[in-house]
């Protein structure tokens, strides 16, 4: 079965425009409810969301659809995506739902589903749900309609759990920490965790109004946090995205470290401690060649997957590995959670600071990245520029040029109408010329 509605991370689009309408959300809720309600025992669903205005609309619509098929719904309110994975499992729910478009602007939204084990649904499960949606949805009898209950302490449960992942003998006293919550789902949870562990916390991006999520802040726009770190002479900065499943780290000088650098640090420490299962890090085709060389020099294996943290997790589960992630800042540690968790990954970084006594700048740039360039081109999905003969010719020439000392990766985004053109090359001049030639060829077509 094929999927048309689902992308690489659930269903996503512009709010109040197909497929992110109340009507589709209600029908999708009914379809996923029917998929999971397979016997007569009581069925539970937990629903979390970020701070977008459209989340209210989608939350109510999903609740209507789910209860119409007999599912009992527990509403968590604004919580990080990893909290939904955690609470789905701990509350013995059949299904978890997160309403969020992650790092996207406020006018987008999305719906992600988690199974009873707290992990995101597989492609096969999403295809089956989509088939139910496109067919006839059997509603339950009136006496079996589900009920909705608001859970007031969902955020608190996540806060308490997150603290348990930090070494018990350690505290953050003496550390001044800037935390940028992107005006998103972790705007209260992240500062609370850091403060309760003893840090001097300087929060930014903690005044959501429904429209300012990821706007000039967060992991995709780190300038504000970097300035704040320097201005306040902070020891480190933590930048989360709108649903807090991504993180970027900023050192005391305002320099940003991406997911590759964070994974390099954690992998090397866990390997040294004998904690890295299979002595393997799982990451995607987007990760830098510099990371690959760094790991190889330490006899740590690297396994690449397609882009998307769900594919990283699938490879981790298949191989029994416990560490993986993406350059974009999704860091997955199955010792602690079922999906990317920006806050818990940041706690691992802070643990390294407290245990080694080293400055953040000494831990954020532990390998030399190979020059990398990424450019995005917006296009209408009904027209595929990669099928154009002139574009294909330019790409073939570029691949030949980079073959000996670099690599080229061109892909469609699974979450936005974008073509992503990424290249790496030891010669920055050749890299820039090559990438620009491809971008110009594509732009002529689109």
pLDDT tens-digit readout, 135-170: 888 899 999 999 999 999 999 999 999 999 999 889
Rounded CA-CA distance 256/239 in Å is 10
| Same domain membership, residue 137 and residue 246 | no
**Could you tell me the two tokens for 411?**
């892909």
Place of tokens 């800037």: 178
Of the residues 85, 120, 152, the one at which a domain ends? 152
Rounded CA-CA distance 330/309 in Å is 7
Residues belonging to the active site: 102
- 154-164 and 189-196 are packed helices; what angle lies between their axes, rounded to 10 degrees? 40
Query: Residue 406's domain is classified under what CATH number?
Result: 3.30.310.50
| Same domain membership, residue 231 and residue 285 | no
* Residue 157 falls inside a structural domain: no
CA distances from 273 to 138, 170, 277, 308, 393 (A): 53, 17, 11, 28, 49
- Which helix (H) or strand (E) segment is 28 a member of? helix 22-36
| Same domain membership, residue 211 and residue 277 | no
Sheet of 301-305, strand order? 301-305, 280-284, 323-325, 331-333
| Same domain membership, residue 268 and residue 136 | no
| Same domain membership, residue 135 and residue 210 | no
pLDDT in the model for residue 259: 97
pLDDT in the model for residue 251: 98
| Same domain membership, residue 213 and residue 271 | no
* Residue 158 falls inside a structural domain: no
| Same domain membership, residue 28 and residue 82 | yes
- Mapping DSSP onto H, E and C, the string for 46-63 reads EEEECCCCHHHHHHHHHH
Other CB atoms within 10 Å distance of the CB of residue 76: 26
In the predicted model, what is the mean pLDDT of the chain?
A: 94
| Same domain membership, residue 133 and residue 35 | yes
pLDDT in the model for residue 1: 56
CA distances from 370 to 93, 254, 292, 391, 428 (A): 44, 21, 10, 26, 9
Of the residues 364, 397, 422, the one at which a domain ends? 364
| Same domain membership, residue 403 and residue 317 | no
pLDDT in the model for residue 2: 62
Query: Residue 31's domain is classified under what CATH number?
Result: 3.40.120.10
Nearest to 90 by CA among 74, 112, 78, 70: 74
Who's near 43: CB < 8 A, 6+ residues apart? 33, 36, 37, 70, 71, 72, 94, 95, 146
| Same domain membership, residue 140 and residue 199 | no
**Could you tell me the two tokens for 400?**
């030949």
Query: How many angstroms separate the first and last alpha carbons of the chain?
Result: 30
| Same domain membership, residue 147 and residue 77 | yes
- 54-67 and 22-36 are packed helices; what angle lies between their axes, rounded to 10 degrees? 40
The SS3 of residue 377 is strand
Rounded CA-CA distance 167/433 in Å is 47
* Residue 147 falls inside a structural domain: yes
The pTM of this model reads: 0.90
Q: What share of the chain is helix, strand, coil (3-state, %, to 5)?
A: 40, 20, 40
Nearest to 263 by CA among 233, 242, 288: 288
Query: Which residues face 376 on adjacent strands?
Result: 420
Sheet of 108-114, strand order? 11-14, 108-114, 95-99, 44-49, 72-78, 148-150
pLDDT tens-digit readout, 417-437: 788 899 998 888 989 999 999
| Same domain membership, residue 318 and residue 439 | no
**Could you tell me the two tokens for 103?**
């790092």
pLDDT in the model for residue 402: 84
* Residue 223 falls inside a structural domain: yes
* E strand segments, 158-241: 176-180, 200-204, 236-240
Who's near 112: CB < 8 A, 6+ residues apart? 9, 10, 81, 84, 97, 98, 100, 120
* Residue 1 falls inside a structural domain: no
pLDDT tens-digit readout, 275-332: 999 999 999 999 999 999 999 999 999 999 998 888 999 999 999 999 999 999 999 9
pLDDT lower than 50: segments of the chain: none
Q: How many helices (H) and strands (E) does the chain have?
A: 14, 18
Rounded CA-CA distance 270/26 in Å is 44
* Residue 243 falls inside a structural domain: yes
Of the residues 205, 222, 250, the one at which a domain ends? 250
Who's near 429: CB < 8 A, 6+ residues apart? none
Other CB atoms within 10 Å distance of the CB of residue 437: 15
* Residue 43 falls inside a structural domain: yes
pLDDT in the model for residue 383: 73
**Could you tell me the two tokens for 439?**
């971008």
How many domains does the chain fold into? 4
* Domain region containing 192: 173-250
CA angle, 336 then 236 then 234, to 5°: 145
* Residue 3 falls inside a structural domain: no
Q: Is the separation of the CB atoms in 423 and 372 below 8 Å? A: yes
């Amino acid at each position: 079965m094929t999927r048309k509605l689902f992308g690489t991370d659930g269903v996503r689009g512009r709010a109040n425009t197909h497929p992110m309408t109340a009507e589709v959300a209600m029908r999708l809720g009914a379809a996923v409810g029917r998929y999971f309600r397979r016997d007569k025992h009581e069925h539970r669903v937990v629903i979390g969301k970020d701070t977008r205005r459209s989340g209210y609309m989608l939350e109510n619509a999903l609740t209507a659809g789910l209860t119409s098929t007999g599912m009992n719904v527990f509403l968590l309110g604004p919580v990080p995506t990893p909290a939904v994975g955690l609470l789905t499992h701990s509350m013995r729910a059949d299904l978890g739902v997160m309403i969020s478009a992650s790092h996207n602007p406020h006018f987008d939204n999305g719906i992600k589903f988690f199974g009873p084990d707290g992990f995101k649904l597989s492609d096969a499960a999403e295809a089956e749900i989509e088939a139910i949606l496109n067919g006839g949805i059997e509603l339950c009898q009136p006496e079996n309609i589900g009920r909705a209950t608001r859970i007031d302490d969902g955020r608190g449960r996540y806060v308490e759990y997150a603290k348990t992942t930090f070494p018990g003998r350690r505290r953050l006293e003496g550390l001044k920490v800037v935390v940028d919550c992107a005006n998103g789902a972790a705007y209260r949870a992240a500062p609370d965790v850091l403060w309760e562990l003893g840090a001097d916390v300087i929060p930014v991006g903690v005044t959501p109004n429904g429209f300012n999520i990821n706007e000039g802040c967060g992991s995709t726009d780190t300038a504000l946090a970097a300035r704040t770190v320097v201005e306040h002479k902070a020891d480190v900065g933590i930048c989360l995205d709108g649903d807090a499943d991504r993180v970027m780290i900023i050192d005391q000088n305002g320099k940003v470290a991406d997911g590759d650098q964070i994974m390099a640090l954690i992998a090397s420490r866990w390997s040294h401690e004998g904690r890295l299962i299979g002595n393997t890090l799982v990451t995607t085709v987007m990760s830098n060649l510099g990371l690959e060389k760094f790991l190889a020099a330490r006899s740590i294996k690297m396994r690449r997957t397609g882009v998307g943290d769900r594919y990283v997790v699938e490879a981790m589960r298949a191989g029994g590995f416990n560490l993986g992630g993406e350059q974009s800042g999704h860091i997955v540690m199955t010792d602690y959670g079922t999906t990317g968790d920006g806050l818990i990954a940041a706690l691992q970084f802070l643990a390294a600071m407290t245990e080694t006594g080293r400055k953040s700048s000494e831990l954020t740039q532990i390998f030399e990245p190979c020059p990398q360039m990424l450019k995005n081109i917006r296009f209408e999905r009904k027209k595929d520029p990669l099928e154009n003969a002139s574009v294909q010719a330019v790409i073939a020439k570029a691949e030949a040029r980079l073959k000996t000392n670099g690599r080229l990766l061109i892909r469609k985004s699974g979450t936005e109408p974008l073509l992503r053109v990424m290249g790496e090359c030891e010669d920055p001049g050749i890299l820039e010329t090559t990438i620009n030639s491809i971008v110009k060829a594509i732009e002529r077509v689109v």
